[in-house]
Amino acid sequence: MKYLVTGGAGFVGSHLIEQLLAEENEIVCLDDFSTGKRTNIAKFADRISIVEGDIRNPQLVRNAVKGVESVFHLAAQISVNRSTKEPLFDASVNIEGAINLFEAVRQSSAKKIVYVSTGGAIYGEPDVLPASEDTIEDPISPYGISKLVAEKYLKWFYDVYGLSYSIIRPANIYGPRQDPLGEAGVISIFLGRIKDNNPVEIFGDGRDSRDYVYVKDISNICIKAMNSNKKDIYNAGTGKQTNLLELVEIIERVTKSHVKKEFSSPRPGDVKHIYLDASKAREELNWVPSTDLELGISNTWKWYEETH
């Protein structure tokens, strides 16, 4: 198969491409390299086609889609914090960029889109946890809003034009290649701070909790969804919540270091508690996350020590 992966030089996209290549597929990677890194795809760059440019550029996207059989859409503005400071930019990339891609796919011979949305931000502060796909979407950040709007547009493209799709709502993704200097990904940020002997910054009292899911488990569910005939939304999480203080304890065990903590005021747009019920993905896609949090952090720390 020939696939387009938008955001393919990013943290998650590069792992997805790696798995697709292992299954003997042909890959087109579309990335503007604003947050994606050439180092992420360096070891297989000679085996893929790279289209450099902005997801909002209609002609560029039409060219990238030409001749591919299906599309994985991961290109996005991914920072909740940045979305609260620059909501117009967030909407431009995550809504306008998505519509531009959906329109290009509609006009092409491509058969399906797998869209990586968000499960960590789309439900807001649910009354009942873990959140399932039936939980009311009530995002409290522009990032969550923009990802939800793109989901609604994708469903509209199916209703009107028959564009086949699957939507993945991942929990908080972590793992090797996540930028420790980026604006998203608390585990990689913490590991980067520890490596430089700096304190970690905790927003709030440290009791905010998240569902942390390993990057290779996310690339796995994306491929399972692509190979499925179902058109639906799937949560992708572990069903377990870990608060920041507990996370620091795990990191201390993995890194064999004492972590200094600095507490700051909570940030606007950050939810207090979220974890996901992914039983639907288990039942319909035969997907279960296979990487334990401590093992995943250990893998991430090993990668960080080898590359920094």
32 with 56: CB under 8 angstroms? no
- Cα-Cα-Cα-Cα torsion 224, 225, 230, 234, nearest 10 degrees, comes to 120
Region 219-234: mean pLDDT is 97
Residue that the structure tokens 């579309």 belong to: 30
pLDDT average, residue stretch 185-203 = 94
Query: Which structural domain, as residue segments, surrounds residue 21?
Result: 2-177+211-241+273-293
Please report the pLDDT score of residue 182 as a whole number.
Answer: 78
- For residue 128, is it within any domain? yes
Work out the average pLDDT over 217-246.
Answer: 97
Type of residue numbered 122: I
Within-domain flag for 8:
yes
| In a domain? residue 45 | yes
Query: What domain count does the chain have?
Result: 1
| pLDDT at res. 123 | 98
Phi, psi of 162 (to 5 degrees): 75, 20
Mean pLDDT of 230-244: 97
pLDDT of residue 184: 79
Please indicate whether residue 143 is annotated as part of the active site.
Answer: yes
Mean pLDDT score of the chain: 97
End-to-end C-alpha distance for the chain, whole angstroms: 35
Residue 262 resides in a domain? no
Catalytic residue among 3, 115, 123, 143: 143
- Give the span between the Cα atoms of 77 and 187, in whole angstroms: 19
In angstroms and rounded to an integer, the radius of gyration of the C-alpha atoms of the chain is 18
Q: Buried (b) or exposed (e) across 136-172, using 16+ Cβ within 10 A? A: ebebbbbbbbbbbbbbebbeebbeeeebbbbbbbbbb
Give the three-state DSSP class for 17: helix
Q: Is the predicted pLDDT of residue 183 greater than 80, yes or no?
A: no
In a domain, 109, yes or no: yes
pLDDT at 135: 98
Reported as a single tens digit per residue, the pLDDT across 21-51 is 999 999 999 999 999 999 999 999 999 999 9
Kindly give, in sequence order, each residue whose CB lies less than 8 Å from that of residue 195, ignoring residues fewer than 6 positions away. Answer: 180, 304, 305, 308
Position 88 in a domain? yes
Query: What integer is the mean pLDDT of 215-222?
Result: 98
**257 belongs to a structural domain:** no
State the Cα–Cα distance between residues 208 and 55, nearest whole angstrom.
33
Residue 231 pLDDT > 90, yes or no? Answer: yes
pLDDT at 180: 87
What pLDDT, in 10s, does the model give residues 101-144? 999 999 999 999 999 999 999 999 999 999 999 999 999 999 99
pLDDT above 90 (res 166): yes
At 17, which CATH number? 3.40.50.720
Q: What is the pLDDT of residues 51-109, one digit of tens each?
A: 999 999 999 999 999 999 999 999 999 999 999 999 999 999 999 999 999 999 999 99
On whether residue 94 sits in a domain, the answer given is yes
pLDDT of residue 181: 82
pLDDT of the residue at 308 = 86
